[in-house]
Amino acid sequence: MLKHTHLLFVAIVVLLFIARVLIAQFKPELLAAKWMKITPHVLATLLLLTGVGLVFEGNWLAGDYGWIIAKIIAMFAFIGLGIVAIRAQGDNRWYAFAGALIVVVYIVKVAFTKQAFFFL
């Protein structure tokens, strides 16, 4: 159940990120709405809490947990690139957007393989 909840929050966070970047590009005045500022933080918190819950539920800290650290570092990269994608303009917005989506793909791949360096 917790895994499905976590995956639901992953999907919602990614879809909301894509929507926010498109809104920033085409209707930036909508980003000023209070709910548009609060909702991403609430969802990210719930995503993080369900992730922590999965770590303890799966007893993943007992073994090799480098992949969890890699996901946390990648999450910070996603947040940073996401901020740039929403605030920047022109090509920089789309480079940051693409970078953020690549980081999401990396996080998902690490989640499935449990290997931080699956590409080696």
Would the pLDDT of 66 be above 80?
A: yes
Residue 26 burial by CB count (10 A; 0-12/13-18/19+): exposed, middle or buried? exposed
Q: What is the DSSP letter of 114?
A: -
- In this prediction, residue 64 carries a pLDDT of 80
- In this prediction, residue 44 carries a pLDDT of 92
Give φ, ψ of 33 to 5 degrees.
-65, 140
Task: Using alpha carbons, select from 20, 14, 120 the residue that is nearest to residue 70.
Answer: 120
Q: How far apart are CA 37 and CA 44, in angstroms?
A: 12
pLDDT, averaged across the chain: 93
Would the pLDDT of 92 be above 90?
A: yes
Would the pLDDT of 60 be above 90?
A: no
Structure tokens at 24: 């920033």
Q: How far apart are CA 43 and CA 9, in angstroms?
A: 7
Residue 93 burial by CB count (10 A; 0-12/13-18/19+): exposed, middle or buried? middle
Would the pLDDT of 45 be above 90?
A: yes
> Domain spans of the chain?
2-113
Would the pLDDT of 57 be above 90?
A: no
Average pLDDT value for residue range 35-45: 94
Note the pTM of the prediction, 2 decimals: 0.89
- In this prediction, residue 5 carries a pLDDT of 95
